[in-house]
């Protein structure tokens, strides 16, 4: 048996160790970041909200006019087969469609490209380490870099155009912060590298509805908030208002709900994780075990 404990890939229809999967240098996925992807968490041996993640992936493919020759059920089957083979019970599972190579010499016509599907899984990723998350992480508001406008690269399609996020992360790290949030050109808070952002005002949660990926964790937070009797508002969130929140937190499939204790020089909840954020985090790790939201994997 090959060792898949570091991760597995579903590559050209076969399950291989992750290190054996690599894109050709001429794939438009490499040369133009021309990729749609999605990431679904596996927790304690089952997928969380698998149908929702795969539905978003299929919508992304349609938006980018990619054909991968697989329907949603076939994508789910490929992911299940791969994770089962990997034996990973807590996993970060990526499904990817790349534009592919253009077999017509010199062609710049995207319709000529041979789109293709692959997937990979690695041990579960926390975008902020759990200890740091419990204490409340630190977020830098990017000063030099703005989120790519929604009419340039559609943020509702999960994509690899990370130039803005990577530049923002350098700004954040250079200033001693864990991660970064980007503003749009009107000064509203959008999102960060792999997460959505929430502001808490008393019993009210506000998160942007514009210029962001509609995260499945974000949707989970909105549903959990309704269950907890909190009010929710999805609308543009100006930075000035964001900085006046009682609490701030992030949502991502890489770690669920992540409390924030500091934004720039401003300390929230006395420099600790806030009570609403901690409650949402606790609820998230309950929800991902709810049978109604899970697809168990037979290993």
Ligand X SMILES: *Cc1c(COP(=O)(O)O)cnc(C)c1O
Does residue 158 interact with ligand X by CB under 6 A?
A: yes
Q: Which residue's Cβ has the minimum distance to ligand X? A: 215
**Interaction mask 74-93, ligand X, x per CB under 6 A:** --------------------
Q: How far is the CB of 126 from ligand X (least distance, A)?
A: 12
Cα gap 75→174, rounded to integer Å: 40
Does residue 115 interact with ligand X by CB under 6 A?
A: no
Does residue 252 interact with ligand X by CB under 6 A?
A: yes
Closest CA to 93 of 76, 72, 79, 78: 79
Does residue 48 interact with ligand X by CB under 6 A?
A: no
The nearer residue to ligand X, 256 or 274, going by C-beta atoms, is 256
Q: How many residues bind ligand X (CB under 6 A)?
A: 13
Q: How far is the CB of 147 from ligand X (least distance, A)?
A: 9
Does residue 256 interact with ligand X by CB under 6 A?
A: no
Does residue 194 interact with ligand X by CB under 6 A?
A: yes
The nearer residue to ligand X, 101 or 211, going by C-beta atoms, is 211
The nearer residue to ligand X, 102 or 194, going by C-beta atoms, is 194
Q: How far is the CB of 111 from ligand X (least distance, A)?
A: 27
Q: How far is the CB of 172 from ligand X (least distance, A)?
A: 15
Answer for which of 191, 199, 206, 297 binds ligand X (CB under 6 A) is 191
Question: Binding residues for ligand X, per CB under 6 A?
Answer: 158, 191, 194-196, 213, 215-218, 251-253
């Amino acid at each position: 048996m090959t060792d898949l404990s570091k991760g597995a890939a579903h590559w050209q229809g076969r399950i291989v160790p992750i290190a054996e999967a690599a894109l050709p240098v001429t794939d438009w996925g490499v040369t133009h970041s021309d990729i749609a992807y999605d990431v679904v968490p596996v927790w304690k041996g089952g997928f969380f909200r698998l149908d929702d993640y795969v539905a978003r992936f299929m919508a992304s493919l349609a938006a980018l006019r990619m054909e991968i020759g697989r329907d949603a059920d076939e994508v789910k089957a490929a992911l299940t087969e791969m994770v089962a083979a990997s034996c990973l019970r807590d996993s970060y599972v990526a499904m990817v469609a790349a534009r592919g190579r253009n077999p017509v010499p010199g062609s710049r016509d995207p319709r000529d490209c041979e789109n293709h599907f692959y997937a990979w899984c690695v041990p579960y990723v926390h975008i902020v380490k759990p200890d740091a998350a419990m204490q409340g992480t630190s977020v830098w508001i990017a000063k030099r870099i703005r989120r790519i406008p929604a009419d340039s690269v559609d943020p509702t399609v999960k994509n690899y155009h990370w130039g803005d996020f990577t530049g923002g992360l350098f700004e954040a790290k250079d200033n001693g912060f864990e991660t970064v949030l980007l503003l749009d050109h009107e000064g509203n808070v959008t999102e960060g590298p792999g997460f959505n952002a929430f502001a808490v005002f008393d019993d009210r949660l506000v998160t942007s509805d514009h210029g962001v990926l509609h995260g499945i964790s974000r949707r989970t937070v909105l549903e959990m908030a309704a269950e907890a009797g909190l009010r929710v508002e999805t609308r543009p969130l100006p930075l000035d208002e964001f900085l006046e929140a009682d609490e701030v937190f992030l949502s991502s499939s890489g770690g669920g709900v992540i409390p924030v204790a500091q934004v720039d020089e401003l300390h929230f909840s006395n420099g600790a994780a806030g009570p609403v954020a901690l409650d949402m985090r606790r609820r998230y790790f309950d929800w991902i075990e709810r049978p109604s939201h899970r697809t168990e994997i037979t290993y």
